[in-house]
Structure 1
Amino acid sequence: MRAQSRALSNPVALWWAMLTLVSLANIVFWFILYRELNGGVAVSPSSDTSAMLALSAAYVFGCAFRSVLPRADVQRICLVDSWLSSVFVGRTVATIAEIAFAAQWAIILAQLGAIADAETAINMARVIVPIIVVAEICSWYAVVTKNFLYNAIENSLWAVAFLFVGIGLGRLLPEFDGLVRGLLIAGLIGIACYLAFLVVVDVPMYVKRWRIERAAGKPLLHPLVGLRDSATQWTVTHEFEHWKEEIAWMSLYFSAAVWGSLALCALSAMNDHGPQARAQTVAPSAIVQSATPR
């Protein structure tokens, strides 16, 4: 009983339980969405919708895996003593999931940009995935060398990528009305909050860690040595002190970001209604023009 009481009072255990429950709910929502978009009468699945569902599955299930088996990459800490908790496995899952998430944003910008004939959105769509691929390379380099500076660069690149996403959404905003416009506004608000978090919290955290490690003269690993280390070395800890700086970003990442992935699937499925949604916006001006004496 005392052991159970200590576990329940441990903030890390409570946080872990919350992550697991949210991830299970996200998986349920994905299956509901899959059934509605593939089996519903109202929506006929397009190739883009199918691709979005597949990409979302990679992200939803990847985040669920990382929620059940949390770890901090450079520190080599985890909550479960298993090879599945190794940084190598977790980082591989994360890489696939994050590129899939970036691809979702690229697809939605390209879709809506084509409907609205918005070249800015289409151009933004073209650069998002390449930027995130570079960010993933930086992340891997940080992992294998234990150099926090590359984590800072990685997250800075995420900020650049989502700044471009925000520019694309902002360009699309006046072109749409109704539910699509509401989703675009929600996306812009979410991106603004995400960018603020990266600039104020996340990137400075990694820069601070890098400076502390450098001041302490801690040696970096050779990439090949670090690659093996990432697959074989991990430390199990449930101490709040070890996890306190990870809790904020992981909580947002495995909840709000996943909800964004699911929302992108729904928005993609609405692409057949995009022209109508846009027409609702431009129709009043057309009526005024036709009523104006010439």
Structure 2
Amino acid sequence: MRAQSRALSNPVALWWAMLTLVSFANIAFWFILYRQLSGGGAAVTHSSDTSSMLALSAAYVFGCAFRSVLPRADVQRICLVDSWLSSVFVGRSVATIAEIAFAAQWAIILAQLGAIADAETAVNMARVIVPIIVVAEICSWYAVVTKNFLYNAIENSLWAVAFLFVGIGLGRLLPEFDGLVRWLLIAGLVGIACYLAFLVVVDVPMYVKRWRIERAAGTPLLHPLVGLRDSATRWTVTHDIEHWREEIAWMSLYFSAAVWGSLALCALSAMNDHLPHDRAQASVAPPAIAQPATVR
């Protein structure tokens, strides 16, 4: 009983329970969304784009659920469950697939809305998002295998750049739509602004600070091949709040709000036939009046 009481009073255990609960709820919402979109309806269209978005969202939703049930901190090699599934190699592999899928969702929705609105800026932003995130994933892997926090800082800086471009694309689309689509674009912009602020104020400085501490202590870096093997074979189980304190904030937001964004992108993409009806009337110029050139 005392052991159970201590476990329940451990803030890490409570946080872990919250992550797990949210993850199962997210999976349930994905299945509900899948059923609704597969069945079609007045406001949704089942197409190859819808199927692609559902598949990409599944990769992200289930990938984040896996990482919620088996949390770990990559460079530190710490986890909550003593299992080979908690190894950094497995977790980072799952994360790579999930994060590229999430980036692809944003690229698809920007390209889709940009084509409807004839907004070249949004379409151009869509083209660069996935390549940037692929480079970010390479940096993340290099950080993992060498235990160099500087590359985590670079990775998250690239995420900031990618979502700055997403924000530019959404901002360009904002005046082109009315109704529900405009409100969804506004919500997306607010979410991206908060995410960028978190990266700039909290996340990137945290990794830079860790890199400086390790450098000042003279901690040796691992050779990539040695580090790759280390990432697959070594993990330390700890439930100490001091080991997890700095991970809790970003993991909590990442495995909840970001997943909800993935689900929302699926729903928005499935409204393909409805989207032209939400085009802003002001975007159609009267033929008798000469209009100045607009930014596309």
Query: Structure 1 pair 172/289, CA: closer, same or farther in 2 (3 Å)?
Result: closer
CA distance in 2, matches of 1:288, 1:168: 26
Provide the residue aligned with 1:249 in structure 2: 250
Query: Structure 1 pair 121/53, CA: closer, same or farther in 2 (3 Å)?
Result: same
Shift of 1:46: 1.1
Shift of 1:43: 2.7
Shift of 1:272: 1.4
Instruction: Structure 1 unaligned segments of length 5 or more: list them.
Output: none
CA distance in 2, matches of 1:115, 1:251: 35
Query: Structure 1 pair 46/67, CA: closer, same or farther in 2 (3 Å)?
Result: same
- 2:136–2:155 contact (8 Å) kept in structure 1: yes
Provide the residue aligned with 2:203 in structure 1: 202
1:186-228 C-alpha deviation (Å, 9 max, x unpaired): 0000000000000000000000000000000000000000000
Identity percentage of aligned residues: 91
1:106-148 C-alpha deviation (Å, 9 max, x unpaired): 0000000000000000000000000000000000000000000
1:251-275 C-alpha deviation (Å, 9 max, x unpaired): 0000000000000000101121111
Give 3-state SS (helix, strand or coil) of 1:96's partner: helix
Shift of 1:18: 0.1
CA distance in 2, matches of 1:179, 1:143: 42
Give 3-state SS (helix, strand or coil) of 2:273's partner: helix
Query: Structure 1 pair 6/122, CA: closer, same or farther in 2 (3 Å)?
Result: same
1:2-26 C-alpha deviation (Å, 9 max, x unpaired): 1111011000000000000000000
CA distance in 1, matches of 2:112, 2:222: 43
CA distance in 2, matches of 1:293, 1:52: 29
- 2:175–2:280 contact (8 Å) kept in structure 1: no
Give 3-state SS (helix, strand or coil) of 1:285's partner: coil
Shift of 1:286: 9.7
Instruction: Structure 2 unaligned segments of length 5 or more: list them.
Output: none
CA distance in 1, matches of 2:185, 2:132: 22
1:59-83 C-alpha deviation (Å, 9 max, x unpaired): 0000000000000000000000000
CA distance in 2, matches of 1:129, 1:68: 27
Query: Structure 1 pair 279/68, CA: closer, same or farther in 2 (3 Å)?
Result: same
Provide the residue aligned with 1:288 in structure 2: 290
Query: Structure 1 pair 43/215, CA: closer, same or farther in 2 (3 Å)?
Result: same
Shift of 1:37: 0.3
CA distance in 2, matches of 1:34, 1:186: 23
Name the structure where helix makes up a greater proportion of residues. 1
Give 3-state SS (helix, strand or coil) of 2:292's partner: helix
Query: Structure 1 pair 265/287, CA: closer, same or farther in 2 (3 Å)?
Result: farther
Q: TM-score, normalised by structure 1?
A: 0.95
CA distance in 1, matches of 2:135, 2:122: 21
CA distance in 2, matches of 1:146, 1:265: 36
Query: Structure 1 pair 277/284, CA: closer, same or farther in 2 (3 Å)?
Result: farther
Query: Structure 1 pair 42/159, CA: closer, same or farther in 2 (3 Å)?
Result: closer
CA distance in 1, matches of 2:280, 2:64: 38
- 2:45–2:272 contact (8 Å) kept in structure 1: no
- 2:105–2:262 contact (8 Å) kept in structure 1: yes
CA distance in 2, matches of 1:210, 1:277: 48
Query: Structure 1 pair 289/154, CA: closer, same or farther in 2 (3 Å)?
Result: closer
Q: Which moved more, 1:213-222 or 1:271-280?
A: 271-280
Moved over 2 A (4+): 39-44, 279-294
Query: Structure 1 pair 292/59, CA: closer, same or farther in 2 (3 Å)?
Result: closer
CA distance in 2, matches of 1:44, 1:199: 38
Q: Which moved more, 1:105-114 or 1:278-287?
A: 278-287
Shift of 1:289: 11
Query: Structure 1 pair 277/97, CA: closer, same or farther in 2 (3 Å)?
Result: same
Shift of 1:44: 3.1
Aligned length: 294
Q: TM-score, normalised by structure 2?
A: 0.95
Query: Structure 1 pair 206/117, CA: closer, same or farther in 2 (3 Å)?
Result: same
Provide the residue aligned with 2:173 in structure 1: 172
CA distance in 2, matches of 1:92, 1:284: 53
Give 3-state SS (helix, strand or coil) of 2:46's partner: coil
Query: Structure 1 pair 43/239, CA: closer, same or farther in 2 (3 Å)?
Result: same
